[in-house]
Structure 1
Amino acid sequence: MVPYNIPIIGHTLNYLFNAEKFLVECRQQVNTIAGNEVAHEVYRTDTFRRFGATDSFPLYRVFKSLEYPETLQQIIKTVREAIAAKLPSYTGRIQKQFMISINKEIGDCFNPKLIITANGNFSSMIARPVADILVGQEISKNEDVVKAFADFTKDFASILVIPPILSFIHPKVHTQVITLPLRFGWNPIWKHVITLKGNLKPVLEKRLKDKEILGDKYEPPLDIIEYLLNDPEHGTKVITDDYLNKICEFLFIIVVVSIHTTSRFMTSALYDFAGRPELWDDIYEEQVRIDKECNGELSSQHINKMVKLDSFVRESLRTFDSVVATIPHRCMKSYTFKNGMTIPKGRMVITYLMDIHYNTTAYGPEPRSFLPYYGLENNFSASKIDKNYFTFGSGKHACPGRFFAVNEIKIGMHKLILNYHIKTPSGKIEKKIHSGPLASPPVSGLIFENRKK
């Protein structure tokens, strides 16, 4: 163990306020921080299990189904089969929903307009196309449902505002304390479940009725609720309250792992773009050319041609500046890495992102510098995983929704860059906000101004 000077509190202050320095010290003495040398092994073997964060991030206290391993497997299967595999079919709907959000959240900027991004504008922008895909085009028109999707993760985070100081006694003590409100009936996210249930029930009932009447002539809508109705694990003949609870819980788990993360990444990418005027013309010209080719209606082929924007997004994700990955892994049995280091059973393994994303072997003598066209020059797309790029994990534990997330970010940025000049209030690169080892986008706001057509 790394020695410390403060009794009881131990390393808490160092961890919260200088996580990178603390982990460098840990790396020299404790084999629980997986850096550039061994992280890929953690993600590529069954010995390590994801979601070892249940002590510090007890989502299972809200969604009971997460206590069962098969729930996560079903979610991964759904994302792969019903979203990732059908991306081309969703492209037109995604850009349509983005334009609705852009007009609503930003609108006309004849005069420069400061948009305070901390207000969750981009959560709503991401939530609208996600709602379209999850619950269909009819329900996604309901602003209350879009708001429920956008606010869900933010409200869940309010349960977790207590820093993990009590973990010095035992991690489970911290878990018990932060979940006390839930056990006493305070649940800030239940209102969102009620909103979704109220809008979902009549639509599901109508679909079941249409199926019964039309038979083979029934034309199934393309969305996740239709996929679930036809899935052996989630299908039904009657829409009961229990069934609605089950479906809503399943959908909101997808919301947690999609909208919050994607909106943070897109917001950060916009700040990265806005603070680098030397890149504006080059990336804008690519978007103009593609817009002319597709006459304003993007297809998957056109999105694939956004090679400069894709490379820029990849670099923004690489330099997001979180010191570690959000979700650690638990070692299920003693494991010896190829370099000879051994981790005992039960040990939590944290992915040291900065050691991976800022390693000099891959990114040169100044790996912390922003390399906008590194991906383009090395044929690495933003959604492609490799041992030097762990934004979406690696191996069998890689995020199955990464293709959808990157497409969303690219479509959103494409539309925004085409329509607006975007810059930071200071005219410089804004610093990200750090809380312990995790990073969040800046909060200074972005200035939008209409482009001359």
Structure 2
Amino acid sequence: MFALLSFIFLLIVFIYIKSPRLSENEPPLVPYTIPVIGHTYSYLFDTENFIRKCLKKYGEPFNIVIFGKVTTIVAQKYIPEVLKAHESFDAFEVFKEFVPLHLILDYDPFKVIGFHAKTIREQISGKLSFHFDNMQKDILYCLDKWIGECDKPRNIKDIWDLTNHVIGKSIANACIGEEASQHEDVVHTFAILTQDMNHYFFLPPFLSFIHQKLHEYVISIPFLIGLSPISKHKNILINRMKPIVETRIQQKKSLGNSYKPSNDILEYYMSQSDFDSSNVNYSYLADLLIFLIVASIATTGRTMANLLFDYASRPEYWDELYEEASTINKECNGKLTFNDINKMIKLDSFTRESLRHMGDMFIAPHAVIADHYTFSNGYTIPKGRNVFDFSEDCLFSESKYGSDSKSFKPFQFVPQNISASKVDRTYVVFGGGRHACPGRFYAVLMMKLFLYNIILKYNVKTENDGVAKKVMLGPFTNPPKESLIFERRKEQRIEMN
């Protein structure tokens, strides 16, 4: 009896400690029944209906309690406001709660976010014309390797794994050069490193009911006690980088001003003022690359897989897309250029529409890093508060996309000639404002090149000749798990550049 009373007493104390305490003039808190648990169940298993009911009753912003923590929800009206308030919000403060790289890498990547953004902006998106030919070659190489000629229909499983390897090879080329990206272990590392980590990081944050930091540390334990899947990938990166770095250092010494730098990120790292050629810190270089891999590969691979499923699921649009692609292919004699891909406005519109339908309810959560933040309607939230953007409210805005906003309308952007990489108030798949994803130009170009080559080389359809359904994981999605059926297109063959 004493033990039972003690347990009840401790439970009451815990509930009291964890009871939400709101500051003055906060957004309304949606009522809930179960202490601590709050709205977690509705958030995970009935996300859209739950959020829309709250929006209808309370307006925006409003507060809910998920995993024992008060979280502020914004939608179409206030998402642009949050995205523009650069000094008050930081997306990576939320990211690190679920992917605590600062605890498992030797160097904290979140302390140099500005450097990572600059790297991607200048060395990836800023050099698309330099990367273009290699991107094209890498895509064709992967299609031959993973899909083949398909003279007879071939069933291909795990499309997301395929697209991860396609983007993995291309990003490896852009990061550490064409020589290193020829090694299969390097491509494999770029392709699956994030997936290996996600086996640990996608543990539901139930320990956050006690304290958020407890969840961060618990999911980091396997990495800290030597069970880290990162170690083998990091060793591969170091082993493949080392001879390249040593060769370049030697060439710089012997050639002096005649040295011709490479157009890859490794060269950029070596050009930094803190790079010590006499004592190269390979662990640091590998950690920089690992962060770029985690931040880019899985998300781009996922959107590429979704794009392919969207195409394969909708045969009514195949002829128009093929006609546009084959016309451009004939005009350039099979030697596609950077300018040629930009002429395909239907392909671009299809890509933008696929991204609009990616399926995630929340895309770019932010945390308040200022002492507080006051919305334009007067509501105030404190430092440390997570703000989740109900992005679907923007992406399916009826005022922007019509009463049938949830319909897949692949060519609706053709008359507007709006690039798939251009962000606006209702197209927030890449965030928005000054901190919109700096790699979106590369990602969109990669997606279009990938689908362009698929269209010219194969006929693709779903197993059941219907629209493939994405896999819902709470408020987020993964690409469909079903296979796609590929068969070589007879009308035309594409040449490798």
Q: Which TM-score bucket, shorter chain as reference?
A: over 0.9
Which residue matches 2:314?
A: 276
Instruction: State which drifts further: 23-32 or 376-385.
Output: 23-32
Counterparts of 2:109 and 2:186 in 1: how far apart (Å)?
26
Correspondence 1:279-298 to 2 at 5 A:
279-298=317-336
Q: Is the 8 A contact 2:76 2:426 kept in 1?
A: yes
* TM-superposition CA deviations, 1:143-184 (whole Å, max 9, x none): 110001101100110111321222222222222322222232
Q: 2:100 aligns with which of 58, 65, 68?
A: 58
**2:448 equivalent to 1:410:** yes
Which residue matches 1:43?
A: 83
Which residue matches 2:269?
A: 228
3-state SS of paired residue (2:487): strand
Correspondence 1:203-242 to 2 at 5 A:
203-233=244-274, 235-240=275-280
Correspondence 1:13-412 to 2 at 5 A:
13-27=41-55, 28-29=57-58, 30-31=62-63, 32-45=72-85, 46-53=87-94, 54-66=96-108, 68-69=110-111, 71-117=112-158, 120-233=161-274, 235-240=275-280, 243-325=281-363, 327-412=365-450
* TM-superposition CA deviations, 1:51-107 (whole Å, max 9, x none): 1222222122223533653x1100111111111111111101110111111101111
Q: Is the 8 A contact 1:167 1:173 kept in 2?
A: yes
The alpha carbon displacement at 1:239 in A equals 4.8
* TM-superposition CA deviations, 1:3-37 (whole Å, max 9, x none): 33345543332222112223234444525112110
CA change 1:108–1:220 in 2 (3 A) is same
Counterparts of 1:369 and 1:274 in 2: how far apart (Å)?
16
Dislocated runs of 4+, deviation >6 Å: none
* TM-superposition CA deviations, 1:104-145 (whole Å, max 9, x none): 111121111111125611110111111111000110101110
- Which runs of 5 or more structure 1 residues have no equivalent in the other structure? none
3-state SS of paired residue (1:374): coil
Instruction: State which drifts further: 426-435 or 332-341.
Output: 332-341
- Which runs of 5 or more structure 2 residues have no equivalent in the other structure? 1-28, 64-71, 493-497
3-state SS of paired residue (1:100): helix
Give the number of the structure whose alpha-carbon radius of gyration is greater. 2
The alpha carbon displacement at 1:207 in A equals 0.5
The alpha carbon displacement at 1:248 in A equals 0.7
* TM-superposition CA deviations, 1:277-335 (whole Å, max 9, x none): 11000011111111112222222101111110110000000111111115433352322
Counterparts of 1:206 and 1:184 in 2: how far apart (Å)?
35
Counterparts of 1:127 and 1:87 in 2: how far apart (Å)?
16
Counterparts of 1:67 and 1:143 in 2: how far apart (Å)?
26
Which residue matches 1:428?
A: 466
The amino acid across from 2:451 in the alignment is M
**2:481 equivalent to 1:443:** yes
Counterparts of 2:279 and 2:380 in 1: how far apart (Å)?
51
CA change 1:68–1:130 in 2 (3 A) is closer
Q: Is the 8 A contact 1:47 1:331 kept in 2?
A: yes
3-state SS of paired residue (1:377): coil
The amino acid across from 2:143 in the alignment is I
Amino-acid identity (%):
40
TM-score by length of 1: 0.95
CA change 1:57–1:21 in 2 (3 A) is farther
Counterparts of 1:227 and 1:115 in 2: how far apart (Å)?
38
Counterparts of 1:119 and 1:373 in 2: how far apart (Å)?
25
> Over aligned residue pairs, what C-alpha RMSD do you find?
1.7
Number of residue pairs aligned between Structure 1 and Structure 2: 449
The amino acid across from 1:402 in the alignment is R
Q: Is the 8 A contact 1:134 1:225 kept in 2?
A: yes
Counterparts of 2:476 and 2:337 in 1: how far apart (Å)?
35
Which residue matches 2:30?
A: 2
Q: Is the 8 A contact 2:160 2:302 kept in 1?
A: no
Counterparts of 2:261 and 2:36 in 1: how far apart (Å)?
59
Q: Is the 8 A contact 1:12 1:165 kept in 2?
A: no
* TM-superposition CA deviations, 1:241-282 (whole Å, max 9, x none): xx1111111011111111111110010011011111110000
